């Protein structure tokens, strides 16, 4: 299933708008590093960029969970629908936890 199939036009627009902001923040971060800006400014920008991307992830996961819980063919609130929604959430939570533990 594709993400776009689960989203309304408004939800898609909101997500793309947020992603464009993240893209702008990442470019700003690159520019700050190229310019040799002080560490505190760079880390502040890095934190803001990561938080913005995390908000996109939370928005996506909540929309996907809603989709899983209301999907055609599954009774809303059924054990199968809940299991699928939780599986989706755990994939995201595992990715975030794994990312936090990596050191590149």
- The pLDDT tens digits along the chain (104 residues) read 455 566 788 988 999 999 999 999 999 999 999 999 999 999 999 999 999 998 888 888 888 777 767 765 667 667 777 777 778 778 777 766 555 555 44
* Domain spans in the chain, listed from the N-terminal domain onward: 3-101
**pTM for the whole thing?**
0.67
- Closest by Cα among 42, 7, 3 to 25: 42
- Which pLDDT score, from 0 to 100, does residue 1 have? 44
Superfamily of domain 3-101: Metal-sensitive repressor, helix protomer (1.20.58.1000)
Residue 68: exposure state from Cβ atoms within 10 A (0-12, 13-18, ≥19): buried
- Which pLDDT score, from 0 to 100, does residue 78 have? 76
d(CA 27, CA 79): 44
d(CA 63, CA 61): 5
d(CA 84, CA 80): 6
């Amino acid at each position: 299933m594709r993400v776009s199939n689960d989203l309304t036009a408004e939800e898609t627009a909101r997500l793309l708008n947020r992603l464009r902001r993240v893209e702008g923040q990442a470019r700003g971060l690159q520019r700050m590093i190229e310019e040799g800006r002080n560490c505190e400014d760079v880390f502040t920008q890095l934190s803001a960029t990561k938080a913005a991307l995390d908000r996109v992830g939370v928005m996506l996961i909540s929309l996907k969970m809603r989709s899983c819980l209301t999907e055609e063919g599954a009774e809303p609130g059924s054990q199968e629908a809940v299991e699928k929604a939780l599986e989706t959430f755990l994939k995201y939570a595992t990715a975030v936890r794994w990312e936090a533990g990596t050191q590149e």
